[in-house]
């Protein structure tokens, strides 16, 4: 799979945990050289693991069958526009959250289409867009020894995208996939990330979401 | 404490769990007779407990020091308008969520002021409004033997409202209060209730929120 804008903390955490789960990962970036460096540094951090993790430009990462959009939310649509044809009929996973910091809190914004994932699906009408990976603490994701255990909500209008996303999640240690319905749910799922980051700032913790009873 | 619009499932669950925790509760309703009947039926369901639970009209329930608004979300502002003077300088807890059903899902709406709690605070500028009790399954709340365990997010612009709300939550068995910041967070907290109800419909469960790591 490929990760667009994958050199930031969110993308790196996803990349290392997927690669550790046996998935071949191409980290994408506007700057291919930077992607290669980050991929190499990540592999070097875990010398005992055979991580299949390479760096490319975003177009290179978009060659994969399943592609995650891990850019900052403001950059998601601009990153995807030139890749529309390449991403046709592929599963594209949106993980960004439209947030703004105000003092000691994060607040949720409402992007056009109601969610970043909705904007991604509108930009890629012929792709199978899902939303996932919103509430995960990046540092714990990146550290394979952190003992992270978290539930990951997945939503999509395409059953194939939901199941492909669930498969990726189940390949990653410590994560459980939960099908949360249609892409309409992305608005509330993304916004709730503001609550998590606010909890983490306020209580000085790295909290995670658990859904009890499922 | 008093519960406005307390004869519905959400209000009843709150009432019985608070009364079981030793809090004196006045259930309010537009129809005082109905409130008295519901209070009596609830007491009769738990003959082994000495529940201090009475029924009154909403104005009677608003006499309490701390008041919960448990009406349907569309009715919250209309219920509160005639009680503005009575609720001055009191803690008022908003628990409603603006939701609409669409097929097999619940979707979150954006009410004026961004959240029901924001609309309640705007209606009661001289009250200390908090938001809490959003993600709780009503049936499990009402059944004291359900083994319910859930985290309850509290947010408010007033420290006194947050701590009064936390005290009520801690009096109820199975619930843990978590301070989630300012009333700005109510938008995301309320909207996330749509995700919970959708999960419950889709997976045929009664799921609850747990925040791990705090």
Query: Residue A143 has which token pair?
Result: 């550290």
- A146 contact partners, CB below 8 Å, separation of at least 6: A139, A140
Q: What is the mean pLDDT of chain B?
A: 97
pLDDT at position A197, please?
A: 96
Kindly state the DSSP code that residue B150 receives in the 8-state scheme.
E
- Alpha helices for chain A (secondary structure H): 9-20, 32-45, 58-61, 76-80, 116-123, 138-142, 159-171, 186-203
pLDDT at position B19, please?
A: 98
A102 contact residues in B (CB cutoff 8 A): 184
pLDDT at position A29, please?
A: 98
B194 contact residues in A (CB cutoff 8 A): 185, 188
Q: What is the pTM of this model?
A: 0.95
Per residue in B66-87, pLDDT tens?
A: 999 999 999 999 999 999 999 9
Which of A150, A181, A192 has the CB atom closest to B192's CB atom? Answer: A192
Per residue in B164-205, pLDDT tens?
A: 999 999 999 999 999 999 999 999 999 999 999 999 999 999
pLDDT at position A127, please?
A: 98
- B180 contact partners, CB below 8 Å, separation of at least 6: A195, A198, A199, A202, B153, B154, B155, B189
pLDDT-based confidence at B52, cuts 50/70/90? very high
Q: What ipTM was assigned to the predicted interfaces of this complex?
A: 0.93
Q: Which of B148, B128, B130, B125 is nearest to B138 (CA)?
A: B148
B180 and A198 in contact by Cβ < 8 A? Answer: yes
| B199-213: average pLDDT | 95
Q: Which 3 state secondary structure label does DSSP give B192?
A: helix
Cβ–Cβ under 8 Å, residues B1 and B26? yes
Q: Which residue on chain B is closest to A140 by alpha carbon?
A: B213
pLDDT at position A7, please?
A: 96
- B48 contact partners, CB below 8 Å, separation of at least 6: none
Q: Is B102 on the interface with A (CB under 8 A)?
A: yes
At A94, give phi and psi (nearest 5°): -95, 125
CA-to-CA distance for B133 and B96, rounded, in angstroms?
8
B102 contact residues in A (CB cutoff 8 A): 184
pLDDT-based confidence at B58, cuts 50/70/90? very high
B180 contact residues in A (CB cutoff 8 A): 195, 198-199, 202
B152 contact residues in A (CB cutoff 8 A): none
Q: Which of A117, A114, A37, A26 is nearest to A76 (CA)?
A: A117
pLDDT at position B109, please?
A: 97
Q: Is B138 on the interface with A (CB under 8 A)?
A: no
Q: How far is B140 from chain A (nearest CA, A)?
A: 12
Q: Which of A122, A97, A93 is nearest to A109 (CA)?
A: A97
- From the number of C-beta atoms within 10 Å of its C-beta (0-12, 13-18, 19+), residue A59 rates as middle
Q: Is the Cα torsion angle A3, A37, A135, A110 positive or negative in sign?
A: negative
| B29-56: average pLDDT | 97
Q: Is B174 on the interface with A (CB under 8 A)?
A: no
Question: In angstroms, what CA-CA distances link B213 with A74, A190, A204, B23, B29?
Answer: 29, 20, 10, 30, 39
pLDDT at position B186, please?
A: 98
Q: Which of B102, B105, B136 is nearest to B206 (CA)?
A: B136
Per-residue model confidence as pLDDT tens for chain A (214 residues) = 999 999 999 999 999 999 999 999 999 999 999 999 999 999 999 999 999 999 999 999 999 999 999 999 999 999 999 999 999 999 999 999 999 999 999 999 999 999 999 999 999 999 999 999 999 999 999 999 999 999 999 999 999 999 999 999 999 999 999 999 999 999 999 999 999 999 999 999 999 999 999 9
B208 contact residues in A (CB cutoff 8 A): 211-213
pLDDT at position B153, please?
A: 98
**Angle between helical axes of A9-20 and A32-45 (0-180°, round to 10):** 50
CA-to-CA distance for A169 and A166, rounded, in angstroms?
5
- Strand positions, DSSP E, chain B: 2-4, 25-29, 53-57, 66-69, 91-94, 99-102, 105-108, 128-131, 150-156, 175-179, 208-212
Cβ–Cβ under 8 Å, residues B132 and B66? no
List the single best residue of A103, A190, A195 to mutate versus B (max B Cβ within 10 A). Answer: A195
A210 and B212 in contact by Cβ < 8 A? Answer: yes
Segment 38-67 of chain A within 8 Å of chain B by CB: none
CA-to-CA distance for A7 and A21, rounded, in angstroms?
19
- A48 contact partners, CB below 8 Å, separation of at least 6: none
B191 and A188 in contact by Cβ < 8 A? Answer: yes
Query: Over the Cα atoms of chain B, what is R_g?
Result: 16
């Amino acid at each position: 799979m490929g990760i667009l804008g994958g050199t930031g903390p969110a993308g790196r955490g996803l990349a290392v945990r997927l690669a550790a789960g046996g998935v071949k990962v191409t980290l994408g970036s506007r700057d291919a050289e930077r992607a290669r460096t980050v991929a190499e540094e990540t592999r070097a951090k875990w010398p005992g693991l055979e991580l299949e993790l390479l760096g490319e430009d975003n177009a290179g990462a978009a060659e994969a069958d399943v592609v995650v959009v891990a850019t900052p939310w403001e950059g998601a649509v601009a990153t995807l526009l030139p890749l529309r044809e390449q991403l046709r009929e592929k599963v594209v996973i949106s993980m960004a959250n439209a947030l703004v910091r105000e003092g000691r809190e994060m607040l949720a914004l409402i992007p056009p289409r109601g969610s970043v994932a909705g904007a991604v699906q509108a930009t890629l009408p012929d792709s199978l867009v899902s939303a996932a990976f919103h509430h995960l603490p990046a540092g714990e994701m990146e550290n394979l020894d952190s003992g992270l255990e978290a539930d990951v909500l997945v939503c999509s209008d395409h059953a194939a995208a939901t199941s492909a996303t669930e498969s990726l999640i189940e390949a990653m240690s410590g994560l459980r996939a939960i099908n949360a319905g249609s892409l309409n749910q992305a608005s509330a799922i993304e916004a709730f990330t503001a609550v998590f980051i606010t909890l983490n700032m306020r209580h000085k913790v790295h909290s995670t979401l658990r859904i009890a009873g499922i």
